[in-house]
């Protein structure tokens, strides 16, 4: 004699409405996918910008002074950091908010792709923003002889310090939350 599962009790209308609503909410996460595709397009545009900057750097570097060479190299680093930032947001945002990324069969994929949680994402974003801000302050400092604007320099340093303090506060906050969880 075979055993059959007991029939589930009929669902009430409010329960079906609630389940339908939860289904719509859960699947609405896929509305984020086009945003990530858009960021990939932005990454491609940034790549074209990087190539143009690199080409101009190669053409003009022989006649540059050392500070001009450093400034152009910093600009290339700046664009690279922004590209890294976009990549981090695309991968970790998709992984955290839309769907898991299947890395099986892809041994060359970076290990962080599936291991950055939302807290790690915030830390990486702020660290990238601090680095980008530091590059802008350094560029302004290297250009100080050409055009010194005390107000602009003060604002650049102040904004950079705000980013640094924000990153430190976020790190402290994450540490306190981790300590409370233990």
Model confidence pLDDT, tens digit, residues 83-121: 988 988 888 888 877 887 777 777 777 776 666 776 777
Per-residue pLDDT of 30-85, as tens digits, reads 888 899 999 999 999 999 999 999 999 999 988 988 878 888 898 899 899 889 88
User: Are 167 and 130 in contact, with CB atoms under 8 Å apart?
Assistant: yes
Q: Locate 25 and state its tokens.
A: 């909410």
Q: What share of residues in the chain are helix, strand, coil (percent, to 5)?
A: 80, 0, 20
Name the pLDDT band for 145 (thresholds 50, 70, 90).
low
Parse the chain into domains and list their residue ranges.
25-100+114-181
User: Are 66 and 92 in contact, with CB atoms under 8 Å apart?
Assistant: no
pLDDT of residue 79: 92
Sign of the four-CA dihedral 148, 152, 153, 156 = negative
Mean pLDDT for the stretch of residues 4-28: 78
pLDDT of residue 51: 97
Instruction: Flag whether the pTM goes above 0.85.
Output: no
Nearest to 135 by CA among 79, 89, 85, 86: 79
**In the predicted structure, residue 143 carries a pLDDT above the cut 80:** no
CA 73 centroid distance within chain? 22
User: Are 170 and 123 in contact, with CB atoms under 8 Å apart?
Assistant: yes
pLDDT of residue 114: 67
């Amino acid at each position: 004699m075979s055993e059959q599962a007991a029939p589930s009790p009929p669902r009430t209308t409010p329960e079906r409405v609630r389940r339908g609503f939860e289904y719509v909410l859960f699947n609405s996460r896929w509305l984020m996918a086009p945003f990530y595709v858009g960021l990939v397009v932005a990454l491609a545009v940034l790549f074209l910008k990087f190539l143009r900057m690199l080409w101009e750097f190669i053409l003009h570097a022989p006649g540059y002074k050392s500070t001009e060479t450093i400034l152009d190299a910093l600009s290339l680093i700046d664009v690279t950091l922004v590209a890294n930032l976009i990549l981090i947001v695309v991968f970790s945002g998709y992984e955290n908010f839309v769907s898991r990324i299947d890395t099986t069969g892809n041994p060359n994929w970076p290990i962080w792709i599936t291991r950055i949680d939302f807290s790690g994402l915030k830390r990486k974003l702020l660290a990238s923003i601090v680095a980008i801000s530091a590059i802008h302050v350094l560029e302004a400092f290297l250009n100080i002889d050409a055009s010194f604007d005390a107000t602009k320099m003060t604002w650049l340093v102040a904004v950079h310090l705000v980013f640094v303090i924000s990153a430190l506060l976020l790190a402290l906050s994450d540490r306190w939350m981790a300590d409370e969880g233990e």
